[in-house]
Chains A and B, each alone.
Chain A
Amino acid sequence: MSLHIRNGRVVEASSSAERVVDIYLQNGKIVGLGSAPNGFRAEQTIDANNHLILPGLIDCQARLRDPGEPEKANIESETLAAIKNGITSLCIPPDTQPPIDNSATVELIHHRNEMFGHQARVYPIGALTRGLGGDQLSNMASLQANGCIAFSNAKHPLANNLVQRRAMDYAAGQQALVIIQPIDHDLLGDGCAHEGAIATRLGLPAIPEAAETAALARDIELVEQTGARTHFGQLSCARSVDILRRAKAKGLPVSADCAIHQLFLTDHDIGLFDSNMLTIPPLRSQYDRDALREAVADGSIDCLCSDHQPHEIDAKLKPFPSAQPGVSGLDTLLPLALRLVAEEVMPLGPLMAKLTSNPATIFGLPGGKIGVGEVADLIIVDPDSHWECDPAHFVSKGKNTPFRGWDFDGSVTHTLIDGKVIYEA
């Protein structure tokens, strides 16, 4: 299979320079940039005039709800949502039902993706502890051998600091990446909104910043103790960014992401109890939002993710504190990223690195770059297409979006995985 993409605009991840370049693909790889290799004959040609060519997005945190929660979503529905929205790789946290704590579940996910998926790459993250119970280590070596790219306890607490220390030690011994979403569950309590004027006014049980920062500071101490390579997921507050910066300045092996909705929304958006604004960690203050944007721009935060959590309608049709947290994010990941460029938070090249080459490097995944010899996971984007966000048109089974009615620019016209066009608008 060989393919020639003509006249597309390519943005280098390292710089924001843009150039019009022809791209030549063969046998799943990029074989030529600018000029075709000798003897290249295209079986298919795509004219990408005035379109952007980007590496396929790598979403480092997306729940597909499979196995276990078919009322919310499944691999079939969500991988289709992924490829139609330019996401070619999905890292899925271990809190499926049953959790990803044994090889059979890993194989089940791969099997379902082969049978029903839409060719997106799906990367299970293994449970750090058995059943995510927080007290016994999972069989990390066999999980790793079966393709788990990292280990995490998702949002489930570990029994105590000793278990955490040992889990990190054990993972470090097999050069595995540990992913931690820093949450102090005592400080989280039954909270559902950022501790501040809005939660006070609405009488919503509040979540202090310390629910994240106290856990993060402890976790970083344990990184220093164990040397475990650790990625912190879905940071939400300014003080977390400070802690992260200090850890990076010390040269600790840490990286971090934040959910892209945190760069746009604040607790003000809760309005009068809009349950689509219920997330954990919560939408925080304007100050936190601005600090996260700055941290993304200066490289303190390495990756952006959708933190995709699709829900059935009923999960949000409840009073705010009783609704289920989370945002259906696959359909809005790319348009929100492009909006960060439009709002001049970051130029396109370095921004796309947060969604492509950085997660590829941190999680050890193929793709994420446009260069000769790289895997041909590419998307073609019409940057000028203008649309209004309407959850009824979401591809994801989850229609729970806080972005209803937002104006977006940019839509995917083609998605290629392994050099093959798997989606064409």
Chain B
Amino acid sequence: MPNSNLQLDDNGRLRHFLSIEGLDQAILTEILDTAKSFTSVADRPVKKVPILRGKTVANLFFEASTRTRSTFELAEQRLSADILSLNVDTSATAKGESLLDTLQNLEAMQIDMFVIRHQDSGSAHFFAQHVRPGVSVLNAGDGQHEHPTQAMLDMYTIRHYKKDFTGLRVAIVGDILHSRVARSQIHALNLLNTAEVRVIAPRTLMPVAVESLGVRVYDDLEQGLADVDVIIMLRLQRERMRGALLPSEKEYFRRFGLTQERLGRAHPDAIVMHPGPANRGVEIESSVMDGNQSVILQQVSFGISVRMAVMSMIVGQSGLQSGGDA
């Protein structure tokens, strides 16, 4: 039977990493602290530690990805893992093999950890329920449900610039309805005691009852940005124009595009984030994206440390104890 503690072992340690929901503040903080200990690895001449030496990690991407997949692969390489990367939608399942068969065939290759992105919400939980004991699943994005490592690197970025969550107002702007990133961020921000989480979107891209996740809902960008400390812009997928969700990119930018002028509504020290890849001129003006309040590129580099942290915690190590090189 599925249970909310699928992610934790009997000692409350991370066993899978499927969703922010179901974790507690202590684990999130441990991930952030562990990630911090890994940031120095990138500055070494040899950018490797032996934490995953002898372990095999399979990256299973049923949906295309460039950024998430490459930062996962880099994180795995820096932890000295053996890596198998598969674009599954072009191989097995296209030939009619069931998802479970694909998983079990890979398990037969003695995989220790699966990093999985799949288009179905709940697929990460599904895999975690069906892998052998001792095999771990990391969710790299399941449908519209969660994308927990992305949210943790965002939390890392916020903590890096703002130190503490308790006084912060954070606004998430854009396609909340289809965004797994937004769901994970909302849970993480609330678990970390963020003072106020706002979501700002046209009503067609706002899920019903979203306030039940612990957010304040705005359908006006300028009101929603008033005095916020962190602005997280979400990517607008081009296909949203087709289902009559939006009239046009131009109209979207007119109502929800982040411009310098609108940024002025926020706190003067506000940071601007974007999980990428960003559409310049659709959800964000180029000058804001490249401006001095933007931390978008820093997010990407933090992503490697955060993913190293999660993987090392799953194999039972909280960061660099000895600091030994591979």
A residues lining the B interface (CB < 8 Å)? 195-197, 199-206, 208, 271-274, 314, 317-322
Q: B175 interface residue, CB < 8 Å from A?
A: no
Cα distance A191–B99 in the bound complex, in angstroms: 21
Given A203-B180, A272-B2, A272-B3, check contact A320 B212 (CB 8 Å). Answer: no
B2 in complex: contacting residue of A205, A274, A314, A318, CB < 8 Å: A274
Does the CB pair A203–B144 fall under 8 Å? yes
**Residues of chain A with a CB closer than 8 A to B291's CB:** none
Cα distance A208–B183 in the bound complex, in angstroms: 20
B4 in complex: contacting residue of A205, A272, A314, CB < 8 Å: A272
Residue of B nearest to A321 (CB): B120
Does the CB pair A201–B212 fall under 8 Å? yes
Does the CB pair A273–B143 fall under 8 Å? no
The segment from B65-73, B122-130, B228-236 found at the interface with A is: B122-130
Q: B213 interface residue, CB < 8 Å from A?
A: yes
B residues lining the A interface (CB < 8 Å)? 1-4, 6, 21, 98-100, 118, 120-123, 125-126, 130, 142-146, 180, 183, 207-210, 212-213
**Residues of chain A with a CB closer than 8 A to B122's CB:** 202, 204, 272-273, 319-321
Cα distance A196–B208 in the bound complex, in angstroms: 6
Across the A-B interface, the 3 shortest Cβ-Cβ residue pairs: A273-B122, A203-B145, A203-B144
Cα distance A196–B210 in the bound complex, in angstroms: 8
Task: List the count of A-B residue pairs having beta carbons below 8 Å apart.
Answer: 82
Does the CB pair B210–A273 fall under 8 Å? no
A200 in complex: contacting residue of B130, B143, B210, CB < 8 Å: B210
Cα distance A271–B122 in the bound complex, in angstroms: 11
**Residues of chain B with a CB closer than 8 A to A203's CB:** 121, 142-146, 180, 183
Listed residue (A201, A271, A318) with the most chain B CB atoms within 10 angstroms of its CB: A201
Cβ contacts A to B, 7 pairs, < 8 Å: A199-B208, A200-B209, A203-B142, A203-B143, A203-B144, A273-B121, A317-B100
Does the CB pair A319–B123 fall under 8 Å? yes
Does the CB pair B207–A319 fall under 8 Å? no
Does the CB pair A195–B3 fall under 8 Å? no
**Residues of chain A with a CB closer than 8 A to B143's CB:** 203-204, 319, 321
Does the CB pair B183–A201 fall under 8 Å? yes
Does the CB pair A196–B123 fall under 8 Å? no
Residue of B nearest to A193 (CB): B121
Residue of A nearest to B121 (CB): A203
Residue of A nearest to B18 (CB): A272
CB distance from A325 to the nearest CB of B (A): 14
Add 15 more A-B contacts to A201-B21, A203-B143, A319-B120 (CB < 8 A): A196-B208, A200-B209, A200-B212, A201-B212, A203-B144, A203-B146, A206-B207, A272-B122, A318-B120, A319-B99, A319-B122, A319-B142, A320-B121, A321-B122, A322-B99
Does the CB pair A197–B99 fall under 8 Å? no
Does the CB pair A322–B120 fall under 8 Å? yes
Cα distance A200–B213 in the bound complex, in angstroms: 9
Does the CB pair A196–B120 fall under 8 Å? no
CB distance from A382 to the nearest CB of B (A): 30
Does the CB pair A200–B208 fall under 8 Å? yes
CB distance from A50 to the nearest CB of B (A): 36
**Residues of chain B with a CB closer than 8 A to A272's CB:** 2-4, 6, 122, 125
Does the CB pair B21–A319 fall under 8 Å? no
CB distance from B282 to the nearest CB of A (A): 23
Does the CB pair A318–B144 fall under 8 Å? no
**Residues of chain B with a CB closer than 8 A to A321's CB:** 120-122, 143
Cα distance A323–B202 in the bound complex, in angstroms: 31
Does the CB pair A197–B212 fall under 8 Å? yes
Cα distance A272–B3 in the bound complex, in angstroms: 7
**Residues of chain B with a CB closer than 8 A to A205's CB:** 121, 144
**Residues of chain A with a CB closer than 8 A to B212's CB:** 197, 200-201
A320 in complex: contacting residue of B6, B21, B120, CB < 8 Å: B120
Cα distance A202–B122 in the bound complex, in angstroms: 7
**Residues of chain A with a CB closer than 8 A to B98's CB:** 314, 317-318
**Residues of chain A with a CB closer than 8 A to B183's CB:** 201, 203
**Residues of chain B with a CB closer than 8 A to A317's CB:** 98, 100, 130
CB distance from A255 to the nearest CB of B (A): 31
A195 in complex: contacting residue of B6, B121, B208, CB < 8 Å: B208
Residue of B nearest to A317 (CB): B100
Does the CB pair A271–B2 fall under 8 Å? yes
Cα distance A199–B208 in the bound complex, in angstroms: 9
Cα distance A200–B21 in the bound complex, in angstroms: 13
Residue of B nearest to A204 (CB): B121
A197 in complex: contacting residue of B3, B21, B209, CB < 8 Å: B209
Does the CB pair A196–B121 fall under 8 Å? no
Cα distance A393–B81 in the bound complex, in angstroms: 46
Cα distance A195–B208 in the bound complex, in angstroms: 7
**Residues of chain A with a CB closer than 8 A to B146's CB:** 203
Cα distance A206–B121 in the bound complex, in angstroms: 12
**Residues of chain A with a CB closer than 8 A to B126's CB:** 273, 318-320
Does the CB pair A202–B209 fall under 8 Å? no
Cα distance A197–B125 in the bound complex, in angstroms: 19
Given A203-B144, A204-B144, A272-B3, check contact A319 B209 (CB 8 Å). Answer: no
Residue of B nearest to A271 (CB): B2
Cα distance A319–B129 in the bound complex, in angstroms: 11
Given A272-B2, A272-B4, check contact A318 B21 (CB 8 Å). Answer: no
**Residues of chain A with a CB closer than 8 A to B130's CB:** 317
Cα distance A268–B10 in the bound complex, in angstroms: 26
Cα distance A318–B130 in the bound complex, in angstroms: 10
Cα distance A393–B146 in the bound complex, in angstroms: 37
**Residues of chain A with a CB closer than 8 A to B123's CB:** 319
Given A273-B126, A318-B126, A320-B122, check contact A206 B208 (CB 8 Å). Answer: yes
